[in-house]
Every structure is written in C-alpha cells, then in structure tokens.
Amino acid sequence: MAERILTGPDCIAEGAAWLAAREPRFAAALAETGPWPDRLRADGFAALAQAIVAQQLSVASARAIGARVAAAGFEDPEAVRAADEHSLRAAGLSRPKARYLKALAEARIDFPDLARRPSDEVVARLVAVPGIGRWTAEIYALFSLGRADVFPAGDLALREAARRLFELPDRPGEAALREMAEAWRPWRGVAARGLWAWYAVATRREGVT
C-alpha cells in the first residue's frame, strides 16, 4: 500500500481523530491542545542545508547563521560545490558543518526522485551522507516530504512527552519508543505532532521555558 502523504491541516485532523479513537491519552491530549499543527515545509537541498546548520544550536543561533548561509547563496548545491572552506566558514559554519554541507552538495541527490521513494529508502539515502543522522533524515521525511507514518523516536522531546503523557516510570529509549509507536501505525507522524504539541502545552502550564 502506498504511503500516505500529509498535505495540510485536514490530513492532520484525520490522523488525530484516528489516534484519539484508539488511544484515550491521545484523545485527552487533543482536547488540551486543540488541532495539531502540520509543520510542513519545503523539501530539497535548501531544507537539508538548513538542518545541518541547525544541528546543536539554539533556535536563535540557527536562524541567524541560516540567514547568512542563505544570503551567501549556499542553499544552492552548485554554489556549495564551487565554494572553498574559507567561504563556507565566513558564512558562519563551523569546520565540521562546512564539510557536511560540502558532502551534501557532492552527493548530488535527485530530490524529486527521492520524494517518490519509500520512507525507509529516503532515510537510508540521507544517512549515507556525512553529517546527516537518522533523526535529521526522519525529520526531513516527516516535515519536508509529509510522510504520515514516519516517527523520529530518537527525539528527546518526543521521548519525554511519551513518558509524561503515558505516565511511564522512566523516559523510554529510542528502541522502546519505536516499539510503543507500532500501535500508532499508519499515523505515527501525526502521533509525533500530537506529542510535541501536548509537551509544549504541558511545559508552559508548568512554567517551564
């Protein structure tokens, strides 16, 4: 069966209703948060370039450096291939990130073709590029390609949200959360959005910033 592609709020609402009908905790989360956001974004080289920029940075720093990278033209793979390390670092990239961006450009990924591939192939293709781990690849598939059943179980906020919402004794590890999420197929990507949305509301309610 072809993978479901999320295209906007109506798709998210359909998945959220399915989850809420089968899991009372998702029903409670949805009642508390209201509609879950789609968080969809553009795909392609620029999206992954910005993902590399954002690694291990605060949101503010990632935005600032991302803007410099874009202004320098380094959201274009040809420009990155033509640039030397000095030019990339002048845009605010660390030495490792300059190397990762180069590797992404040199990988010459056919992004339209990638978008037609099954999610497991998308993730495998992306993690073969230095500097792109499973989390980044799954986030790309989830938000840039709109895959309804991709679940980035390595995400710390997802793991903590699951601990709280399901009243688990400990924060689940990545493998444990992946196993837990099997019950949420074929809407695991919507479940992730619900967990993030509920966690944001819960932390605000508790005064955690």
Cβ atoms 151, 187 nearer than 8 A: no
- Alpha-carbon distances of 162 from 31, 150, 208, rounded to whole Å: 17, 16, 17
End-to-end CA, the chain:
42
Place of tokens 């899991």: 23
Other residues' Cβ atoms within 10 Å of the Cβ of residue 97? 23
Active site residue 155: yes
Rounded to 5 degrees, what angle do the CA atoms 115, 117, 122 make? 80
- Residues 38, 43, 149, 155: which is the catalytic one? 155
Residue 154 backbone dihedrals phi, psi, to 5 degrees: -80, -5
Name the H helices within the chain: 9-22, 24-33, 45-54, 59-71, 77-82, 85-90, 95-107, 111-115, 119-127, 134-139, 156-165, 174-181, 188-205
Catalogue the active-site residues.
Answer: 155
